[in-house]
């Protein structure tokens, strides 16, 4: 195995370990939240294009909000693991809240597009 391949594998392993620590197992709710976050962002961009208000600053703010949701998920997982003894309560609550919130935002964006 080449030295470059070893470095790439090591980096991938380290990233995987960090993500595993931060989020634990990737379940259906987690996948649904990620899908809703992507759909919300895309629908928001479509609204901005339709209204001729597309802005990189506003788009960056939207991405920052999505990253903050991921931070809250990580805090929920860590609380579940170290405070609640592995019972997935906090992270599940955070996921359900933000799935609902993103869903509402998607509907608002659809409404703004005339659907």
pLDDT of res. 2: 87
The four Cα atoms 46, 49, 53, 57 give a dihedral, to 10 degrees, of 60
How far separated are the first and last CA of the chain, in Å rounded?
54
Residues 6+ apart with CB under 8 A from 30: 23, 73, 95
92: which 2 tokens?
């599940």
pLDDT of res. 22: 84
pTM for the full model?
0.85
For 9, 21, 63, the CA distances from 69, given in Å and listed in that order, are: 28, 16, 10
pLDDT tens digits along 54-106: 999 999 999 999 999 999 999 999 999 999 998 899 999 999 999 999 999 99
């Amino acid at each position: 195995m080449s030295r470059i391949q070893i470095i790439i594998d090591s980096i991938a392993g380290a990233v995987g370990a960090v993500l595993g620590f931060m989020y634990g197992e990737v379940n259906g709710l987690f996948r649904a939240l990620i899908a809703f976050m992507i759909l919300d962002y895309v629908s928001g961009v479509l609204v901005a294009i339709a209204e001729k208000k597309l802005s990189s600053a506003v788009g960056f703010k939207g991405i920052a909000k999505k990253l903050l949701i991921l931070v809250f998920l990580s805090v929920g997982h860590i609380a579940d693991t170290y405070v609640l003894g592995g019972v997935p309560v906090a992270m599940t609550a955070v996921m359900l809240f933000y799935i609902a919130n993103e869903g509402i935002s998607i509907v608002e964006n659809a409404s703004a597009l005339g659907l």
